[in-house]
Chains A and B, each alone.
Chain A
Amino acid sequence: MERIPTGIKNLDDIIYGGIPAYSLNLISGLPGSGKTILVQNIIFNCARRGLKSIYLTTISESQLKMVRNLGEFRFFDDRFLGEKLIYGDLGTVLRNSGPEHAIGYITDLLKQHRPDIVVIDSIKVIRDLFFDEKGFRTFLFDLAATLSVWEVTAFLVGEYEEREVSLLSEFAIADGIFYLYGQEEKRFQKRFLRVLKLRGSNYQPGEHLFEITENGIVVYPRLRPEEGELDYEVLPRRKGFGIDGLDEMLGGGLMQGTVALLSGPTGSGKTIMALRFLVAGAEQGDRGLFVSFEETPAHLYHAANQLGWDVGRFVDRGLLEIKFISPIELDVDKHAIEILEILSSRQVERFVMDSISSFETGLPSPQKYRDHLWALAHRLRKQRVTALFTYLNEDPFSSLVVSRSQLSLIADHIIFLRYVEDRSGLRKVLGVFKSRGTRHTTDIREYEITPTGVRVMGKVDKADMLR
């Protein structure tokens, strides 16, 4: 099927390559949801590829206002105006001659300009000019037929509520329906886009986050496991921490392309161990990415230097990248996609997310949290990235909270850190709950953070220490 790529970042992936050519598409949503900017962004992108568009305004937004507002965006280029982008005033025709003359006006423009794309903004205004549904339906049918025989791909922009999708005739006639909406989600006012219909084409269902930036629209596809992704090969190579006792407990390290959960209370050394995991990889030439929601790169460099790990050297050589995302600014829908893009583009082999507890606070529901982690974990496995997620255990004397939110299901390995009381002091112990495909030890061993790193000692021999 011939398609017209939108050129909007990630949108073409969602609709498998672009808008089907000669289709009639409804871009719907409430005022201010980003409909006009989306369509304008598409036609400017198309103009750069040599396609011609006619943009017909009605009476919802004047051409002057629209062009003036668009000038703020980088995709706008006034060299295209009058050449590749023809603006027409359908509103005057509608007001002076009535909607029955609109098709004739549009046909004359098609003959005159031979466009590839026609936009009508807003179709809702035309609907309101018809006295009955039958008249509007006939108009739409004629419009759809006219545009398709002139080999035109059409976008009809309209201010609609989602409930109207199942009620109004324009949604039945349209080949494609895109619904844009905003939503308050905890800390952010977010914008989402959903493809509700795309005749003759597959598309990724569900809500996809999008942002209006100075570059135009950027879409962040809904994170989900890709088709056929649930099956991945077992790779024999081990990715160790470079911590003798711990690697031994894990049978040599984490198996390549698996996901590990490192659970522990505050101050137990999760971040240090996670950093150590990447440093050990960098020493062997593995590229690593450390995504921190809690400590800035400067803090991490400092901590690493205190332990004698020359992290800066690995950063300079491109073997280690530390990306800090403030938990206040964390937008999981967006940042998860950005992280995946880095993992893919930089061919990262080891990945740390510190911590997924912050990830949790960035999502509106436990279900969405689980869905995102599940999808992320499967993408990581698919890309053969060995991943370590740290998790804050709020009970320093318990190791059992890993079953919360079914986190244990996403992890191939679960390593727990916890405190134990020993007379009047605190000691740290660690153990491996689970390590898929590995005959791991069930020992509980004491460990300490020393001036040179993490030292794992022998088995804890006093059972009462664990009470």
Chain B
Amino acid sequence: MLSMLRTLWIVFRHAFRRRVTYQYPEQPVPLPPRWRGRIILTRDPDGGERCVACHLCAVACPVDCIALQATEDEHGRRYPEFFRINFSRCIFCGYCEEACPTYAIQLIPDFEMGEYNRQNLVYEKEHLLIDGPGKYAGYNYYRVAGVSIGGKGKGEAENEAPPVDVRSLQL
């Protein structure tokens, strides 16, 4: 009897509490910035694709839902020819982001990806690639790496000496 009254009292008291239920979708859900949601591919500060098609995200993926093919432009800059994520398999673990050496692949606070047709959950590069740098504004991989690309020759990356001239002793 006492416990019933106590229960009633608690229920009654809750009626005056602040509501925790969000009226989704009318009301947006506040998500923390590190929420692991929809995956995107970002661009470096110069506007170039950050992804260098190193395949590390694909190999880190526990459900193997990332497939890509590397290719190169005429100056040797490597980028993915295609980049496919099968979100119907993705478990949003974030390992791909962790593995990415160039900050290209990022998980963002967005989970609104529901589809009636499962086939629509297969995202290609055009669905993934955004126009900004995402979370890491300043980083530009090709300015750090030693390979030369269009507009950046040998010895022109950060903290690099000019190329060695092996014939410097020749007259």
Q: Do A and B share a complex?
A: no
